[in-house]
Amino acid sequence: MAEQIVVYNTMTRRKEVFQPQERGKVSIYVCGVTPYNEPHIGNARPFVTWDTIRRFFERIGYEVYYVQNFTDVDDKIIRAAHEQNVSWKEIADRYIAAYFQALDALNVRRANVYPRVSETIPEIIAMVQGLIEHDYAYALEGDVYYSVEKFAGYGKLSGRTLEDMLAGARVEVDERKRNPMDFALWKAAKPGEPSWDSPWGKGRPGWHIECSTMSLKFLGEHFDFHGGGSDLIFPHHENEIAQSQAYCGDPHSFARYWVHNGFITIHAEKMSKSRGNFFTVADILKKYPGEVVRFFILQTHYRSPLDFSDDRLQDAQAGFARLETAKENAIVLIEREGTSDTAKGLAAAARAAQSAFYEAMGDDFNTALAISYLFAVAKDINVYYNDVINRGVAFDAENFSTVRQVFDDMTDIIGILEAPAERDMKEDAAVAALIEERLAARKAKNWVRADEIRDELKVKGILLEDSAAGTRWKRI
RNA sequence: GGCGACAUAGCCAAGUGGUAAGGCCGAGGUCUGCAAAACCUCUAUUCCCCAGUUCGACUCUGGGUGUCGCCUCCA
C-alpha cells in the first residue's frame, strides 16, 4: 500500500516523489510556537497536520523522528513578563504547558524532542561564530547580522530576489546594516532582558537562528521535512536556509521537502494574535470535543485555507457523529459470533477503500479525500449493523472483523475515535436502571411512561436509541 | 509597489484533458409503538467571466474580475 508518496514542495512549487534521506526513516522538523499566550486554533493546525502525517508514515512502516521547537526567548515573551511582573521563564513555562494541554485534547501525539532556545544557547553561539568565520555574518556593537548578499540563494524558497524585496521595502532601514535585509543572528542585551555571555558581549539569539541550530543538533545537516505555517516561508524559513546552508557550506544541506500549511481564517481573514481575531483552543474545547475539532481541521486539505466558524464546526460534528455511530455499531457487532459469509463483499469493499485511503494519504497527505473513504466504510458498517441486528441476517464474524479492522486503521491515522466508544454506554447505573424500567413499560405497552422516561433523560442531555439489540444511550 | 495563492451545488470540500468524490443542511421514503439513530432516493447539463489550444477543458494557455496571503511579529 502506498508504494509511492508524493509531496508538494514549497521550494519547487510542485509535487515531488518522496525519497527519504535514509531508507525506512523519516525526519521531520516543524517550527513550534513562541509561548507567550494561549494557543489558538490557527496555531494548532500545523501540529494536527503533522501529527497525522507522522501517524501515516509510521503506519506504512517508516521510523519517524519528529522534532519541534519552542522559541522561548523572544521579545513578546519578555514583554509579557514585564507586563505581568513575572520572569520570562515563567511565561514560557506557563504557555508551553497550555500548549501541550491543547495538543493533548486534539489527540496530537508528542514529538520525539521539544528543544528550547534557552537550552540551546551554546550551540547557537557556535553557529553564529561559524557564520562570522565563514564571512556570512558580521558583528556590530554587540549585535551580529547575517549578510544576505553573501548567500547566493537568498530568496529561493519564497521566490523573490533581493531586488524584489528592496523594491517593496517596508523594513525600517537600520543604517548600520550593510543591506537593509540583513537580519539579526544575535542581539545585544538590553536592560531587563534575559541574556547570555557570548564573544560579542551579553545578548540573546535573534529569531531564525534557533531553528537552524536545533535542526542541525537533532537531525543533522540533511533531513527530510521542514514544516510550519505558510507565514513562516518568509522571512523565517528563508533565513533558516541561508543560515544552515552557509554554515554547512553545502547548498543541498538542510531540509529536502518544505511543507507549509494554509491558515485558519475567520470571515476569510487570517486568524492571528496580532489581529486579535482568534479563538483559543481552550475556548473551542468548551463547546466541542477535541476529536471533532481535529476532524474539522483534517476535512480540508492542509494547504487550503480553512475558515473557522461555529456553523462549520457544527457541520463537522454532525459528520463526526455518524462515524462515531459506526464505531459503536462495529463494537456491538464484533461481540457476536457467527460463521456465515454475509460480510464477504463488505470485507472486499473495505480493503478497496483502505487502499484508496492510503493512496489519498500518499498523495500530498490528502486527508479530505481519505476521509471520504472512511465514510464509505462507515456506511457499510451501519448497513450491515441494521441487517444483522434488525433484519436477522446471519452474522459473519470473520469477514466483519476485517471491515472493523480497516475502519479502525483509518480512524487511527486520522487520529479520531480513539477513546473506546463503550465509555459512555455503561458508566451510569442510574441511566441503566431507567432504561430497564422503560423496557418494562414498553413491554407492557405503557407508552406514556416509556416516553416520560425518555424525555426525562433527554432533559439531562441523554439520548436513547432503541434497536432490536436493546437500548443504548449517548450524551448530546 | 514587489511576489504568490485561490475562485467547484444552500453551506463545506476533493478532483481529473474525456465528461463533477465525500460531508453538512433540505425534501420524500424504509425501519420504529412513537421517536432517535441508521439506511434508501432526490438535490451542480455544471465547475467566476472572456478568448485561445484541443476531437474534447472544470482541468492547459492568455486576458479580466474577485478574494486572500507574504513582503513587519505571526502557525
Give me the average pLDDT of each 10-residue run along chain A (476 residues). 82 93 97 95 97 98 98 96 96 97 97 97 98 96 95 93 75 76 95 95 96 98 97 96 96 96 95 92 96 98 96 96 95 93 96 97 97 98 95 95 97 90 60 91 93 90 87 83
Span CA (A124) to C1' (B30), Å: 68
CB within 8 A of A469, min separation 6: which ones? A332, A389
Q: How far apart are CA A459 and CA A456, in angstroms?
A: 5
Give the three cell numbers for residue A153: 540563494
In whole angstroms, how large is the CA radius of gyration of chain A? 27
Show contacts of A432-435: CB within 8 Å, 24+ apart: A435/A464, A435/A471, A435/A473
Q: Give CATH 1.20.120.640 domain extents, chain A.
A: 309-414
Angle between helices A344-362 and A367-385 (to 10 degrees): 170
**Residue at minimum CA to C1' distance from nucleotide B38:** A382
pLDDT at residue A473 in the model: 87
Question: How many Å apart are CA A61 and CA A120, to the nearest integer?
Answer: 32
CATH 3.40.50.620 fits A6-284, yes or no: yes
Considering chain A, tell me which residue range(s) the CATH 3.40.50.620 domain(s) occupy: 6-284
Cα(A418)–Cα(A420) distance, rounded to whole angstroms? 6
**pLDDT at residue A172, rounded to an integer:** 59
Other beta carbons within 10 Å of A444: 10
What backbone phi and psi angles, to 5 degrees, belong to A350?
-65, -40
Distance A144 CA to B47 C1' (A): 53
Q: Which positions of chain B lie under 7 Å from any protein Cβ? A: 1-6, 11-15, 21-25, 31-40, 67-75
Fold of the domain spanning A309-414: Four Helix Bundle (Hemerythrin (Met), subunit A) (1.20.120)
Specify the pLDDT at position A1.
43
Stated in angstroms, how far is A306 CA from B48 C1'?
A: 20
Integer Cα distance of A114 and A334 in angstroms: 40
pLDDT of A169: 58
Q: What is the spatial distance, in angstroms and rounded to an integer, between the CA atom of A248 and the C1' atom of B50?
A: 52
ipTM over 0.90: yes
- How far is Cα A384 from Cα A324, in angstroms, rounded to an integer? 15
CA of A360 to C1' of B16 (A): 14
The per-residue pLDDT for A431 is: 86
Of all nucleotides, the one whose C1′ comes closest to residue A43's CA is B75
Q: Nearest nt (C1') to A47 (CA)?
A: B75
Q: Which residues pair with A25 in a beta bridge?
A: A63
